[in-house]
């Protein structure tokens, strides 16, 4: 079950909700058909709940929103970007464990 703490981003709102956010934002670039994306989803959901108030966590469907992945050179999914102050400060491509993701986030909050 998805956490209610996970936001949904789109091409239309990415600039205001992510790039201009005062809080660091973890963006999960994913697609419905992507098996590894489904594998990492519970980890992303758990981090959204555990890190609530420290970081905003959200997902961007690459099939529905092609402009933003292109802007960041996303070539494979899942790709997770940690954006702070309008800049990408961390990038993880592929499935990774919760401990590693949490450590990357905590280094920037």
83, pLDDT greater than 60? yes
**The tokens of 92 are what?**
């993880």
d(CA 31, CA 22): 27
Residue 4 — pLDDT band, cuts 50, 70, 90? confident
What average pLDDT does this structure show over 72-95? 97
Query: What value does the mean pLDDT of the chain take?
Result: 95
Domains and CATH numbers, the chain: 6-106 (3.40.30.10)
Instruction: Show which residues are catalytic.
Output: 34, 37
**β-strands 25-30, 6-9 pairing:** unpaired
Query: What is the value of pTM for the model shown?
Result: 0.95
99, pLDDT greater than 90? yes
Residue 27 Cα distances to 33, 83, 87, 95, 105, angstroms: 18, 8, 12, 14, 12
2, pLDDT greater than 80? no
Residue 81 Cα distances to 1, 20, 99, angstroms: 22, 15, 16
What average pLDDT does this structure show over 84-106? 96
For residue 1, the model assigns a pLDDT of 44
Percentage of residues in the chain having pLDDT higher than 90: 95
């Amino acid at each position: 079950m998805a956490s209610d703490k996970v936001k949904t981003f789109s091409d239309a709102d990415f600039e205001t909700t992510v790039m201009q956010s005062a809080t660091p934002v973890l963006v999960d670039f994913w697609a419905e058909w992507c098996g590894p994306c489904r594998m990492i989803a519970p980890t992303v959901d758990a981090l959204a709940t555990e890190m609530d108030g420290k970081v905003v966590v959200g997902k961007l469907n690459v099939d529905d929103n092609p402009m933003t992945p292109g802007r960041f050179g996303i070539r494979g999914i899942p790709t997770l970007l940690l954006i702070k102050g309008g800049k990408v400060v961390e990038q993880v491509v592929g499935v990774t464990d919760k401990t590693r993701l949490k450590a990357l986030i905590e280094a920037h909050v």
